């Protein structure tokens, strides 16, 4: 029996040592998990900062790309409209304003003293863009009172069109302008008649 008690005591000692060893390993593992968690948090913060920088760079690029598109369209706009019987003499870009607390912006306006053509420029034209623009056009004479007695026409210009948006725009009686390489062209059918507002 004495031998058994010694063996049990030895086993208990070994068990206590093993338990302490296990606890030590758990503490080491916990410390590693905390270290890993801190690294994940640090990495996540770096990803968020990178995302912010990418978004800022994209916004800058998109803004510059939009200005390039507007310039491309504006360069050919007078001759394109004159060919279609709307004799305009000059253009203005980026008309911004506010009327009764409502902000507005038009990309390009072509003028001749009694008529204007308001052009919305999009890199990729979508049907929703056309719908939004036609709603803006309806308010143009109110937002820009100097044009209240003018005939107003609308136009959309784009590099790429999705889902038949260019056909939708023509059906809405808007001039449709495709930017191509280093110029722009009207793609309305020859018999097209624009809507006057």
Q: What is the pTM assigned to this prediction? A: 0.68
Contact 154, 175 (CB under 8 A): yes
Take residue 182 and report the two structure tokens written for it: 């280093």
Rounded Cα gap, residues 77 and 71, in angstroms: 10
CATH architecture of 76-186: 3-Layer(aba) Sandwich (3.40)
Which single residue is written with the structure tokens 């008309």? 95
Neighbouring residues of 166: CB distance < 8 A, sequence distance ≥ 6: 125, 156, 158, 176, 178, 187
Q: Which residues make Cβ contacts (< 8 Å) with residue 81, sequence separation at least 6?
A: 87, 88, 110, 117, 175
**Per the structure block, which two tokens stand in for 11?**
């086993």
Q: How is the chain split into domains, by residue range? A: 76-186
Pairing between β-strand 151-161 and β-strand 115-125 as defined by DSSP bridges: parallel
* Residues 125-158: tens digit of each pLDDT: 999 999 999 999 999 999 999 999 999 999 999 9
Shortest CA distance to 121 belongs to which of 188, 70, 81? Answer: 70
pLDDT digits (tens, 9 = 90+) for 104-116: 999 999 999 899 9
């Amino acid at each position: 029996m004495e031998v058994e008690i010694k063996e049990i005591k030895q086993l208990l000692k070994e068990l206590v040592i093993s338990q302490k060893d296990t606890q030590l390993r758990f503490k080491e593992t916990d410390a590693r998990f905390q270290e890993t968690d801190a690294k994940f948090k640090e990495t996540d913060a770096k990803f968020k900062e990178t995302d912010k920088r990418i978004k800022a760079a994209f916004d800058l690029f998109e803004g510059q790309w939009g200005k390039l598109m507007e310039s491309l369209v504006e360069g050919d706009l007078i001759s394109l409209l004159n060919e279609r019987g709307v004799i305009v003499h000059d253009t203005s870009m980026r008309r911004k304003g506010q009327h009764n607390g409502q902000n507005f912006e038009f990309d390009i306006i072509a003028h001749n003293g009694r008529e204007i053509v308001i052009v919305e420029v999009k890199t990729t034209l979508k049907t929703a863009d056309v719908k939004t623009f036609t709603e803006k056009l309806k308010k143009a004479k109110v937002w820009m009172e100097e044009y209240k007695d003018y005939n107003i026409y609308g136009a959309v210009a784009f590099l790429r069109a999705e889902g038949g948006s260019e056909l939708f725009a023509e059906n809405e009686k808007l001039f449709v302008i495709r930017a191509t390489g280093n110029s722009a062209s009207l793609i309305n059918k020859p018999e097209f008649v624009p809507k006057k507002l």
